[in-house]
Structure 1
Amino acid sequence: MPPSPDSSVDCHDGDPTAQARPFIGILFECCGHYVRVYRRPSERQYVARCPGCLRVVRVAVGPEGTSARIFRAR
């Protein structure tokens, strides 16, 4: 049975000042794993680790960057 529209979950628990956490998606080609990576709004980089081989990837955030949300780690 599909959920009713009235049963939606609010991730901010009714706080109108709360902001969604920024995230990106990374496909680790080394092991074929996709992960969603979150960061705190105050941090200037995303840090991800492949769940298969534990390789670390860092993605900087800055004004000269891209608007892309999905990346491949090779």
Structure 2
Amino acid sequence: MTAFTAAIDQLQQYVTWRDTKTVFVIFNRNKGFSDVVQKAREAVRAHPQYKSGPLVQGLPGSGTSSATRTIPTGSTR
């Protein structure tokens, strides 16, 4: 289990079934921030409870942006 996976598990202890958004804050003192972001993305996608949804038009991840945004399936937004 990575530190990212452990942090995701801890975050999930505080949310309810009605919560649709959470925040995962990463403090990084290193210059290799892109590597940290990539590892965080990989950890999220590898998590046993990860579910991807449709990308919303105009949000990061829906075009040329390097950020990824997934919306839970069944969301009305």
TM over 0.5: no
* Larger-Rg structure: 1
TM-score w.r.t. structure 2 length? 0.25
By percentage of residues, which structure has more strand?
1
Higher helix share: 2
Q: Which structure has more RCO (C-alpha within 8 Å, separation ≥ 6)?
A: 1
